[in-house]
Structure 1
Amino acid sequence: MKNNTFGSALIVAGTTIGAGMLAMPLTSAEMGFTYTLILLFLLWGLLSYSGLLFVEVYQKAPRTNAGIATLAEQYFGMAGRVLSTIALVVFMYAIIAAYISGGGSLLSGLLPFLGDNATSVAIIVFTIILGLFVSIGTKSVDLLTRILFIIKLVAFFFVLLMMLPKVTTANLGAMPLKDFVIISASPVFFTSFGFHVVIPSLNRYLEGNIKRLRASILIGTGIPLIAYILWQMATHGTLSQTEFVHILSDDPTLNGLVNATKHITGSSFIGEAVRIFSTLALVTSFLGVALSLLHCLDDLLKRVNITAGQTVLSLLTFIPPLIFALFYPEGFIMALGYAGQMFTFYGLILPIGMVWRMRKLYPELPYRVFGGNITLVFALISGLIIMSVPMLIQAGYLPKVVG
């Protein structure tokens, strides 16, 4: 496997293992491990499939550095470009805001001497330091991701080593506290496999090589699935459901997750290990999504004949989510909820529509994703259901999740 193919797979995995993974214990606390496992496998299959749909579409891309909006315009005209751009930009701004908010929440726990200013300072420091790497370019993100991913894996295995021996079958066998909570949690879990925003950057990085892009997606999504299962087993199996839900209801943030781990396991050492892993998970995911947003904005500005320098692109990338995080420091789950809704359109419904059009225009393609049109229809129905979940929760037809 060529070196940059492996690096691309790690960018996929690093982008995937981020805020969605950390939000899992928050949103699935009332669900129980068994139903969480079912939801994980369903969404992993659905989103790996939609990622491969993008690979199929890129076979007929006008250029290797074409963004998703350019592909949408190719098949649906200007309306396709506008809709895809709005969905993509709102999604990435929302999820980056969630990352900054979550990162600030975690880092503020290490800055108690700053008092009430700890969260704001942590948010600004988190954004500036990591934003510099994104501004430099894909190679710097690749290098930093490789280093942090290795450290993250070590921290993750260390957390598992300490938590898994405390797992009990009684905790794992806990049943849902509310009906249909598995459906309510699906939009947040959906973002847990949200690597799709990095596909344009990876296609550019791999110089349009379809086989290597496909390999990086398959390898890159397999790693998070295994990690998610072990993570959910550790949190659901170690923490008593009733007490866990009670603590998270008081503080539905990542810092609340760390405090819940400390309280229930009785070990501040385990709690801090969870904090370190959570911070690294946020960082690698933040890097991938921020890089993708920067490239998306560059593609958008070029479409209207504006050439922006790296400094301007960086400011456009980071200032809006930074403002949100500063004014809504506890908006982690809220931002992920909006991100999940936008991502359902961008990461599932849009590629289904493009592939449907593409297969009619180009019936003989070197690579076609398995399943045919029946699978496309099934995936489309699943996407529409997930998109409607926030509205059904607000209307009272589905229960709210913790946070």
Structure 2
Amino acid sequence: MDSTKPAMTAKPPSLIGGACIIACICVGAGMLGLPAAGAGVWTIGALMALVFTMFIMTTSGCLLLEVLKDYPYRSSFSSITKDLLGKEVNFFNNLMIYFVGGILLYAYITSSGLILNEYFGIAPQLASIFFVFIFSGLVWHSTKMVDRISIVLMLFMIITFSFGTVGLWFNVNLSTLLDTAHLKFEYAQYVWVFFPITLTAFGYHHSVSTLRDYYREERLAQKAIMGGTIIALFTYTVWLMSIYGNLPRVNFGPIISEGGNIDTLLISLKSVLAEERLSNVISAFSAAAILSSFLGVGLGVFDFLADLFQFDTTSKGRTKTWAVTFIPPLIFSLLFPFGFLAAIGYAASAAAIWACIVPALLARKSRLKKAISNNQEDNEEQPQQVKPYQVPGGELVLIGVFIYGVGIIVINVLVMFEALPVFDGV
């Protein structure tokens, strides 16, 4: 179906704001989960895997933009999947989207409770409740509010990140960073189990339709997506090198045994840092990263569920959407807290479906549909129009994104059956 797009007379929203939303969604999961998950493959292997995953995940997000361009604004992932792939695929895809969004919100809520407990002595469960009811209100308010808060949080993270990483870089030991005391080829066997975490670290796709609605133009939304994933990659690179240059590989055993929880990582980092002030700065950055991702993921899930359940934009309708978005992950966080890496691992397989496999299938179906439509048109001259938005690379790009998604699922299945080596810190 074709969308009727209003003329763009007003100045479009800032690209910085959109890029910050994407970066904030990515950075929380990545900052908290990547150090422990990448400890097996260590510095060089981890960075190579991140670059590769960033390219794939940026491309798959742009594929969603390509499909959305033929639909009215406020069309969601669910709307286009139902139209192009059918009700059954859409139902399954919706379950996967909600599962990933819910499990990430669950992980952020749990982690926030642990951090608040460590620094303020509040019981983790009570701290998690305060965290949700205070900050989810920003999502309830509006996308614009999250945009503004995301910019503030990103500036705060840049400041604390800069001070923290500069301090860490002064303490970086090259032999620790590169682990020169050991052969590196043996580390390559752990790269496979790292890929599912990298996929989740670049998972922003539930917010693509929101971003497209915000800019009202696919090419602007693409620039925001690319800017956001580049910011995230740069942040991950500096962060991992800072951590791996200070905390020896063998020290990750206790962190991994505790499920990769952020509080355990911070405690381990404190033990090798001489300055308490530096440790506090890094803790502040970690807290901001959790909050920024909580807001970004919460916004994406909020808009997705509003469309799915057809809740309106009145205060009553937004309250209903707020309830189905934030209450279930909060309840599960209170009842079944477990390791951060375990949560991210569960999310990875589901994310591979709707962040890689389904976007590739949607783009292929959309292109076939358009090709058939074009062939049926008569040869009458048409007025020259702006070339429609399309991701370059043809079928090879679609196949590559699809295979990557399938590969993530295969890796997780092999890990479940202990068929792949997993680094345990020894």
* Band of TM-score, shorter chain: over 0.9
Q: Does the aligned pair in 1 maintain the 2:13–2:214 contact within 8 Å?
A: no
What is the rounded CA distance, in whole Å, between the counterparts of 1:85 and 1:250 in structure 2? Answer: 31
Percent identity over paired residues: 27
Shift of 1:265: 2.2
The answer for the alignment partner of 1:16 in structure 2 is 26
Q: Does the aligned pair in 1 maintain the 2:177–2:244 contact within 8 Å?
A: yes
TM-score, length of structure 1 as denominator length: 0.93
Q: Are 2:44 and 1:39 aligned?
A: no
Q: Are 2:219 and 1:187 aligned?
A: no
**Helix, strand or coil: the match of 1:60?**
coil
Aligned residue pair count: 395
Closer, same or farther in 2 for the Cα pair 1:199/1:254, shift >3 Å? same
Shift of 1:249: 2.8
**Helix, strand or coil: the match of 2:310?**
helix
The answer for the alignment partner of 1:276 in structure 2 is 284
- 1:64-213 to structure 2, matched below 5 A, reads 64-112=73-121, 114=122, 118-174=123-179, 175=184, 180-207=189-216, 209-213=217-221
2:58 is aligned, of 38, 48, 58, to 48
- Structure whose alpha-carbon radius of gyration is higher: 2
5+ long unaligned stretches in structure 2: 1-10, 375-386
Q: How big is each residue's C-alpha offset from its partner over 1:223-242, in whole Å with a ceiling of 9 and x where there is no partner?
A: 11111111111011111111
Q: How big is each residue's C-alpha offset from its partner over 1:254-300, in whole Å with a ceiling of 9 and x where there is no partner?
A: 00010011012233322222211111011111111111111111111
Q: Are 2:207 and 1:214 aligned?
A: no
Q: Are 2:395 and 1:380 aligned?
A: no
Q: Does the aligned pair in 2 maintain the 1:352–1:376 contact within 8 Å?
A: yes
User: In the alignment, residue 160 of structure 2 is paired with which amino acid?
Assistant: A
5+ long unaligned stretches in structure 1: none
Q: Does the aligned pair in 2 maintain the 1:87–1:343 contact within 8 Å?
A: yes
The answer for the alignment partner of 1:255 in structure 2 is 263
CA RMSD between the two structures: 2.1
Q: How big is each residue's C-alpha offset from its partner over 1:50-80, in whole Å with a ceiling of 9 and x where there is no partner?
A: 111111111112x110110101012112123
Shift of 1:216: 0.8
The answer for the alignment partner of 1:296 in structure 2 is 304
What is the rounded CA distance, in whole Å, between the counterparts of 2:17 and 2:213 in structure 1? Answer: 13
Shift of 1:247: 4.8
TM-score, length of structure 2 as denominator length: 0.88
Closer, same or farther in 2 for the Cα pair 1:110/1:401, shift >3 Å? same
Q: Does the aligned pair in 2 maintain the 1:181–1:400 contact within 8 Å?
A: yes
The answer for the alignment partner of 1:285 in structure 2 is 293
Q: Does the aligned pair in 2 maintain the 1:248–1:256 contact within 8 Å?
A: no
User: In the alignment, residue 74 of structure 1 is paired with which amino acid?
Assistant: D
Shift of 1:357: 0.7
What is the rounded CA distance, in whole Å, between the counterparts of 2:189 and 2:306 in structure 1? Answer: 41
Closer, same or farther in 2 for the Cα pair 1:401/1:132, shift >3 Å? farther
Shift of 1:391: 1.4
Which ranges of 4 or more aligned residues in structure 1 deviate by more than 4 Å? 176-179
What is the rounded CA distance, in whole Å, between the counterparts of 1:282 and 1:383 in structure 2? Answer: 26
What is the rounded CA distance, in whole Å, between the counterparts of 1:248 and 1:378 in structure 2? Answer: 31
The answer for the alignment partner of 2:250 in structure 1 is 242
What is the rounded CA distance, in whole Å, between the counterparts of 2:287 and 2:424 in structure 1? Answer: 21
